[in-house]
């Protein structure tokens, strides 16, 4: 429901202030805005565990990516344009063609066109 415990509390407070009744079916918790100290505690514990679990997943993911990079398996995202098309794009942009028209013709976003042009300047 939220990105972290603070976000969860903020979302829940915003909903209950508008008269929305929030119910966690699996945990049998209901929040109406007039909540007991026990329900607030349980929400905090649930949110803290969810945040902790998400951080563990991210840590394992980073470790896995690092191992895959070392093994040469993980090379990142494939380039949008092959080398020859990228060179043609740069030439035509340098000749003064509009970036938006080039983006449409090459089937990429305008931001991609600018990224390729910026990369050529380095």
For the segment 41-56, the average pLDDT, to the nearest whole number, is 90
Q: What is the largest CA-CA distance in the chain?
A: 69
Cα 81 from Cα 67, distance rounded (Å): 27
pLDDT tens digits for range 70-116:
998 887 788 889 999 999 999 999 999 999 999 999 999 999 999 99
Virtual torsion, Cα 54, 57, 58, 61, nearest 10 deg: -160
Q: Which residue has the tokens 């976003």?
A: 109
Residue 50: which H helix or E strand, with range?
Answer: helix 37-70
Can you give the pTM of this predicted structure?
A: 0.53
């Amino acid at each position: 429901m939220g990105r972290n415990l603070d976000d969860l509390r903020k979302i829940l407070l915003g909903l209950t202030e508008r008269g929305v009744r929030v119910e966690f079916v699996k945990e049998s918790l209901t929040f109406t805005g007039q909540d007991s100290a026990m329900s607030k505690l349980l929400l905090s514990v649930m949110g803290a565990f969810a945040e902790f679990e998400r951080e563990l997943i991210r840590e394992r993911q980073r470790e896995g990516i690092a191992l895959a990079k070392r093994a040469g398996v993980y090379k990142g995202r494939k380039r949008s344009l092959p080398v020859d098309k990228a060179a043609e794009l740069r030439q035509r942009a340098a000749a003064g063609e509009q970036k938006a028209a080039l983006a449409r013709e090459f089937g990429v976003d305008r931001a991609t066109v600018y990224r390729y042009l910026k990369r050529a300047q380095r």
